[in-house]
Structures are given as structure tokens and as C-alpha cells.
Amino acid sequence: MKHVLFAAGALAVTLAVQAEDKPLLAVPGKAILESKLDAAPGAPWKIAKGAWELTGGVWRGSEKPEDKHGAVIRLPNTLADFVIEFECKFEGGRSTSLSINAAKGHLARIAIMPKFVTIQKDDGDHEGPDKAVLFARFAVDFAPGAWHKVRLEMVGDTLLGKVDDLVAWGSEEKLKQERVGAGFTVGGQSVDFRNLSIREATLNPDWEKVKATLPKPGEKLAPLPAPAGKAPAKKKAAAKKAPAKSE
């Protein structure tokens, strides 16, 4: 009986792994970078803002008050189609993101806060005519000290973001731009990171079937908390649609 139970348990684990690894938008290919992030941050990473250090065998990013800007660390790599995966956990920080830049300006991100996860195309110029496009905002309740799995896939003009079991996608012509400077941002103190993987990617031949099972872009937009006191209707509507701030 014990052998039967063990075999059944092993099969269940195998099926769970296979389900988790099932391609969504992209089929991962050749590894570009794989790191447990268990050594002190250094080349080829470039620290732009904040403090980045090795703590307890993982990376920790913390905002410096004197910077008046979130902590930022980036890679110089230029990316074609790709899949990025990593894990993060809050250790007092108020926000973090996986951010992708274009040759000029921001391009896209998965922004994570203890109460919200946002997946979006960024405003690349902040002056128009480009503007941010919010693909999804999920309400969450992330406690400090809990690890969360994050994945960003970009193929052609389409991106897909996944945080734990939350998935959203969207397509925009400007997502086809050259992609550079993939990196992490942290607001406040602190957020930890581990188990980073960046791989080349190709379009999943079953993407159209997968897409049909996912929420449509903009369909999942959890409302932001109303400001203190009663807000005018126009302000409430703006708050509902507001994208995450780019850093």
C-alpha cells in the first residue's frame, strides 16, 4: 500500500510540474541568463538607484530616501522575444516591478504591491502622444516573507504576465520595439529576489487556443481604494483606470 501511495504521489507531482510548465504565449528556448541571485550584485548588472545587496543568500533591493526615487538595477542586454522568470518577496517594501525599457523610455512592466498586481505597456515618453495601456490589475493580499513566482513573456507585439496563478496578456504595436535594460525596481525597504531565468522564446503554436481561455485585455481591472473622504465621480473613474507609475 505504501508503494502505491508513493507512486500516486509521485505521479501527482509530475502532473503538477507538467501543468505549470505548459507553454502560454511563448515556448522557452536557449538560456540567456540563469542565476539563483545568491552572489552579491555585480557585472553585468548596473545599479542605477538604491541599495542592492546579498542578504540571507538572496538579493535585496532597498530605496534610499536621499535618492527620492525607487531602487533600480538593470541588465544592459538587448532582448528579442524572451521569457523572464524569478521569485520575489516583500520584506517591508511597498512596491516592486519587473521593468523592460525600449531604446528610449519605458516599454512594459509587471508592477507588484502587497495589495495589487498590475500588468501594462508603459508610457514611453511621459509627454504624449504615447500613453500607458493597462492590461490587468488584480487585487491581492501578499503578506511579508512569502515568495511569489513572476513570469513575463514577450513575443512580437504581445506580452503575457503571470504572478503566481494570476495571468494577463495584451498586444500593442509599440511592444515590438527593441527591448533593453530588463531590471528590477523597489519602492521602500525592502524586497528580496531569487531564481532568475531569462530565455529566448518563440511563439507557442497553440497560443490562439490558450488565449481563448484567458481574460481579455482590460477585463480584469480591480478598483483602486477611494481617497479619504468622498471623491467626485470623475476622480473615481480616473483612479479605477490609473496605470502603475513607471520608474
Q: How far is CA 222 from CA 4, 6, 31, 213, in A?
A: 45, 42, 35, 20
Neighbours of 247 (CB within 10 A): 21
Locate 223 and state its grid cell: 478598483
| Segment 50-90, tens digit of pLDDT | 999 999 999 999 999 999 999 999 999 999 999 999 999 99
* pLDDT classification of 7: cutoffs 50, 70, 90: very low
Amino acid at residue number 204: N
| Segment 191-243, tens digit of pLDDT | 999 999 999 999 999 999 999 999 999 999 999 987 766 555 554 454 455 67
| 157 exposure class (CB count in 10 Å sphere: 0-12, 13-18, 19+) | middle
Of 66, 118, 81, the residue nearest 97 (C-alpha): 118
| Segment 138-181, tens digit of pLDDT | 999 999 999 999 999 999 999 999 999 999 999 999 999 989 98
| 3-class SS letters over 166-208 | EEEEEECHHHHCCEEEEEEEEECEEEEEEEEEEEEEEECCCHH
Looking at the domain 23-222, which fold is it? Jelly Rolls (2.60.120)
pTM score, whole prediction: 0.85
Locate 57 and state its grid cell: 543568500
* pLDDT classification of 14: cutoffs 50, 70, 90: very low
Kindly state the helix (H) or strand (E) to which residue 94 belongs, with its residue range: none
Where do the structural domains in the chain lie, given as residue ranges?
Answer: 23-222
